[in-house]
Chains A and B, each alone.
Chain A
């Protein structure tokens, strides 16, 4: 029995073992993996990067815990990037479990900055992130299409007060902010058809510069909108989140996840290639009349 026969009659438990080792090791050991950047994600970063101090953007957090793994990292990174650059952020959600998501993002970042003056390695010198000054959270309202249309008229129409019950007019950063016209861009993190509503109503009616971060499954369906220029950027799935983390130089869960995925995939592909080599070699020998056992 030579090596190729061995490959062909290989106990699958070796595959299990090597996969488990690869996953656990890559999980525990935070080494660097190259992440290739796609243009559609890079254009999101470039827009964010070109924002100046005092600019305002709208982050729409339209997912629930089911899509947390894929989209949460993006929200964290983009929110943090804006805070760092002193860009004002309006948070809103059109998913009824999205409030918990936004709460978590805001709490994690502000608490960390308050206690240690850092967040994920970024140092905030003598600064705190304050509700009403650095960000505002509008909260949740049902019927996404209606809410988007109403916000295009004025944020105060669907959201007379913010999530915490403060009237929008008495919030410092909302002074002089009426609707999307004052926002430099809208970024929508979406799991579900809300993404299409933003395209139809947000971009279609009010021509807002729109970018999307969607789940991996939805990614493929969104490319047509990118080609037609209805959205200026697209980050799909864990891969998109990891690219954003890399671009913003703020590595977190998405890059961790990507590392494991990447090596697990490579391992599986290697096994497939090995199987094929073994298969071809043994088949050729069979054709030549060799002894195959």
Chain B
């Protein structure tokens, strides 16, 4: 490993620790990492848009003779009237255009993708399945399971009625609907736990790899210095925290 890569990866490792320190409480290290990443990522994003959209999709096109790209460019520039108090109403035109296009796009497409497609798959034939009872109690392909999905879907939809008081029969069915919703939420939650733990494991792996590589190489001296400094800084901070804590305890007692 060269000194150069050593320094860069060490910076990354240090910032990783800074971010993890947030789990304990808000602290100067986290504040530093947070403010740094906000600035750097905003700058990064600005440049990405500049190089990947503004240049190829606007300037290049206009200069290549597709003059009509001046129109969206002008609309974009109209957004800048927001810098002025007097003319800021002009910025409503591009906003109105944006909202119009977005809403118009959504109407048929969402109707198709969400409502129609889901309705289609909600209506299942439970009879022509050759196993109505299924192979076992928890067979997901059985007719009974399919019937539960169908009834569950409809009752959960009943829960979303807004202009009807949930009373009588209506109450029963929307109650069943909310049971279904809750079981579904619990299941998704439990299912996600596994993936989230592996995110943390990945970070451990990154830190371990960095440690192994750094130790194994000529930069190991600098590596030791890094660890000493990092731990030293964190330790001093911890001592201050503990003292503060003890003092507060004494004062309350």
- Which residues on A are within 8 Å of B, measured CB to CB? 13, 16, 20, 23-24, 27, 69, 216, 220, 223-224, 227, 237-238, 257, 260-261, 264-265, 268
Q: Whole-angstrom distance between the alpha carbons of A260 and B205 in the complex?
A: 12
Which residue of chain A lies nearest to B203 when distances are taken between CB atoms in the complex? A23
Taken together as a complex, chains A and B put the C-alpha atoms of A112 and B190 apart, in Å, by 39
Do the beta carbons of A69 and B198 come within 8 Å of each other? Answer: yes
Name the residue of chain A whose CB is nearest to the CB of B195.
Answer: A216
Cβ–Cβ contact A227 & B135, under 8 A: yes
Is B197 a contact partner of A261 (Cβ separation < 8 A)? yes
Q: Shortest CB–CB separation between residue A28 and chain B, in angstroms?
A: 8
- Count residues of B near A (Cβ-Cβ below 8 Å): 16
**Contact for A265 among B135, B141, B193, B200, CB less than 8 A:** B193
A selection of 12 A-B contacts at a CB cut-off of 8 Å is A23-B197, A23-B201, A23-B204, A216-B195, A224-B140, A224-B141, A227-B135, A227-B141, A238-B194, A260-B201, A261-B194, A264-B197
Q: How far is the CA of A16 from the CA of B201 in the complex (A)?
A: 14
Judge whether B193 and A27 touch: CB under 8 Å: no
A244 to B61, CA, bound (A): 55
- Interchain CB contact (< 8 A) of A27 among B24, B139, B141, B204: B204
Does B204 contact A16, Cβ atoms closer than 8 Å?
no
- Cβ contacts under 8 Å, B140 to chain A: 220, 223-224
Closest chain-B Cβ to A276's Cβ sits at a distance in Å of 14
The answer to whether A268 touches B201 (Cβ under 8 A) is no
CB-CB nearest in chain B for A267: B197
Q: Does B23 belong to the interface (CB within 8 Å)?
A: yes
B141→A24 contact, CB < 8 A: no
| Contacting residues, chain A, for B204 (C-beta < 8 A) | 23-24, 27
B contact residues around A224 at 8 Å (CB): 140-141
Give the one of B139, B197, B198 with max A CB within 10 A.
B197
CA A201 to CA B201, docked complex, whole Å? 38
Contacts A223-B140, A265-B193 aside, 7 further interface pairs with beta carbons under 8 A come to A20-B23, A238-B198, A260-B198, A261-B197, A264-B193, A265-B197, A268-B193
CB interface residues, B 131-188, toward A, < 8 Å: 135, 139-141
Cβ-closest chain B residue relative to A228: B141
- Residues on B with C-beta less than 8 A from A27 are 201, 204-205, 208
For the complex, give the distance between the alpha carbons of A268 and B200 in Å.
15
Give chain B nearest CB distance to A264 CB in angstroms: 5
User: Within 8 Å CB of B198, what residues of A?
Assistant: 69, 238, 257, 260-261
Q: Once bound together, how far apart are the Cα atoms of A272 and B198, in whole Å? A: 20
Please judge, given known A-B contacts A13-B24, A16-B23, A216-B194, whether A257 and B139 are in contact too, CB under 8 Å: no
Question: How far, in angstroms, from A220 to B140 measured CA to CA in the complex?
Answer: 9
Q: B238 CB to closest chain A CB, in angstroms?
A: 13
Instruction: Kindly report which residue of chain A lies nearest to residue B196, judged by CB atoms.
Output: A264
Chain B 8-28 against A: per-residue CB contact (8 Å), 1 yes, 0 no? 000000000000000110000
Q: Give min CB distance, B237 to chain A, whole Å.
A: 15
Q: How many angstroms from the CA of A16 to the CA of B21 in the assembled complex?
A: 11
User: In the complex, which of the residues B24, B135, B197 contacts A260, with contact meaning CB atoms closer than 8 Å?
Assistant: B197
Q: What's the Cα separation between A227 and B134 when bound, in Å? A: 10
- Of the residues A23, A69, A220, A223, contact of B200 by C-beta under 8 Å: A23
Q: Looking at the assembled complex, report how far the CB atom of B186 sits from the nearest CB atom of chain A, in whole angstroms.
A: 11
Tell me the smallest distance from the CB of B154 to a CB of chain A, in Å: 23
Q: Beyond A23-B204, A24-B204, is A265–B194 a contact (Cβ under 8 Å)?
A: yes
Residues of B within 8 A of A69 (CB): 198
Q: Closest approach, in angstroms, between the C-beta of B127 and any C-beta of chain A?
A: 18
Q: A256–B203 Cα gap in the complex (Å)?
A: 15
How far apart are B193's CB and chain A's nearest CB, in angstroms? 7
Determine how close the nearest CB of chain B comes to the CB of A1; give it in whole angstroms. Answer: 14
Q: For residue A265, which residues in chain B have a CB less than 8 angstroms away from its CB?
A: 193-194, 197
Q: A residues within 8 A CB of B197? A: 23, 260-261, 264-265
Residues of A within 8 A of B200 (CB): 20, 23
Cα–Cα distance between A265 and B201 once the two chains are bound (Å): 13
CA distance in complex: A24, B23 (Å):
16
Distance between A26 CB and nearest chain B CB, rounded to angstroms:
9
Chain B positions within 8 Å of A237 at CB level? 194
Q: Find out whether the CB atom of A227 lies under 8 angstroms from the CB atom of B194.
A: no
CA A228 – CA B8 in complex, angstroms?
A: 54
Determine the chain A residues whose CB is within 8 A of the CB of B194 once the complex forms: 216, 237-238, 261, 265
Cα A238 to Cα B201 in complex, Å, equals 13
Q: In the bound complex, what is the Cα–Cα distance between A23 and B208 (angstroms)?
A: 13
Q: Which residue of B lies closest to A223 (CB)?
A: B140
Q: Which residues of A contact B208 (CB under 8 A)?
A: 27
